[in-house]
């Protein structure tokens, strides 16, 4: 026998699960900064390596270090035939700084930063970090997009509960879920994509962007569920399946296999190899 829950409890659980999915998406994707601490001379120093930034300005790196520590900043464009550019970083008032050169929308740079205290070299990360540059999205587009997508998740989960518990509003919630995905994912989503990466759609059949692909997959399952419920509002299978598919899809980190420039095919010139000596 299924437990009885109030509507408030079901909405609360749906909202909490949405927040958990949102945090997971935000913190596991390839655009989330690499953060950590490194111990030098018995003291720990925090660092943050950016993996996403706006196209108009260089991406900054700053880190507190002991005065006797120098750094080396190496970078090259991702998916290019560039040679590594190497820059020596000297501390100023206990801080070393670097600027990762900005790229056009969807352009990427791989970079690494190492520190040296005269006797030991410290790598901040085990492999080069890849940063992707994106265009600025107007708030009047981005905020509604986020709003619709997050509440699409809330209503998706709530619809699943409604179907599982055999309650009366499954068709209504399914309809709202489908419309939220339609507006947030298939109308506002491509507009956000155009501002950020100068392309309305980079998923199937023109590309392999998982964000685009998982949006259309989620929408299609909710559309099928809606069509089934129009014929039989007692059907529970399809809304539950659509909810499971949605949860599985949103466990895929955000921006995986996202838009990127392949500099080996664009014919763009390589960045010069320069080195600044202390």
Do the Cβ atoms of 18 and 150 come closer than 8 Å?
yes
Q: Could you give the CA distance from residue 92 to residue 113 in angstroms, rounded to a whole number?
A: 17
Whether omega for the bond prior to residue 205 falls within 30 degrees of 0, making it cis, is: yes
Distance of CA 228 to the CA centre of its chain: 33
CA gap 157, 187 in Å, rounded: 22
Number of neighbours of residue 110 by Cβ within 10 angstroms: 19
Q: CB neighbours of 159 closer than 8 A, spacing ≥ 6? A: 170, 173, 174, 177, 239, 242, 243
Task: Tell me how far apart the alpha carbons of residues 257 and 30 are, in angstroms, rounded to a whole number.
Answer: 9
Fold of 34-135: Immunoglobulin-like (2.60.40)
Instruction: Give me the percent of the chain exceeding a pLDDT of 90.
Output: 68
Distance CA 257, CA 252 (A): 11
Q: How many CB atoms lie within 10 A of CB 13?
A: 14
**CA–CA–CA angle 212, 144, 146 (5° rounding):** 50
Q: What is the pLDDT along the chain (278 residues), one digit of tens a residue?
A: 456 788 999 999 999 999 998 888 878 878 889 999 999 988 999 999 999 999 999 999 999 999 889 999 999 999 899 999 999 999 999 999 999 999 999 899 999 999 998 888 999 999 999 999 999 999 999 999 999 999 999 999 999 999 999 999 999 999 999 999 999 999 999 999 999 988 888 777 777 777 788 889 999 999 999 999 999 999 999 999 999 998 888 887 766 666 788 888 765 554 433 333 22
CA dihedral 129, 134, 140, 142 (to 10 degrees): -40
Domain locations along the chain: 7-29+137-250, 34-135
Q: Whole-model pTM?
A: 0.82
């Amino acid at each position: 026998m299924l437990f009885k829950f109030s509507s408030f409890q079901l909405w609360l659980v749906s909202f909490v699960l949405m927040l958990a999915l949102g945090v997971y998406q935000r913190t596991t994707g390839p655009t989330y900064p690499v953060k950590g601490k490194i111990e030098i001379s018995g003291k720990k120093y925090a660092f943050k390596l950016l993996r996403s930034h706006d196209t108009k300005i260089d991406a900054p790196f700053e880190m507190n270090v002991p005065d006797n520590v120098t750094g080396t900043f190496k970078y090259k464009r991702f998916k290019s035939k560039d040679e590594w550019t190497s820059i020596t970083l000297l501390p100023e008032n206990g801080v070393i700084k670097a600027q990762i050169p900005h790229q056009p929308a969807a352009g990427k740079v791989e970079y690494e930063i190492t520190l040296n205290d005269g006797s030991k070299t410290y790598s901040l990360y085990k492999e080069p970090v890849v940063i992707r540059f994106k265009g600025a999205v107007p708030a009047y587009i981005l905020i509604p997009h986020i709003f619709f997508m997050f509440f699409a998740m809330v209503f998706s989960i709530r619809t699943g509960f409604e179907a599982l518990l055999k309650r009366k509003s499954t068709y209504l919630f399914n309809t709202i879920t489908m419309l939220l995905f339609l507006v947030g994912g298939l109308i506002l989503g491509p507009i956000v994509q155009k501002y950020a990466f100068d392309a309305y759609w980079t998923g199937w059949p023109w590309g392999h962007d998982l964000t685009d692909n998982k949006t259309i997959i989620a929408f299609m399952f909710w559309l099928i569920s809606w069509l089934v419920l129009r014929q039989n509002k007692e059907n529970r299978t399809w809304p539950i399946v659509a909810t499971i598919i949605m949860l599985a899809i949103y466990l895929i980190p955000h921006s995986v296999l996202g838009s990127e420039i392949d500099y080996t095919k664009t014919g763009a010139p390589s960045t010069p190899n320069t080195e600044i000596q202390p």
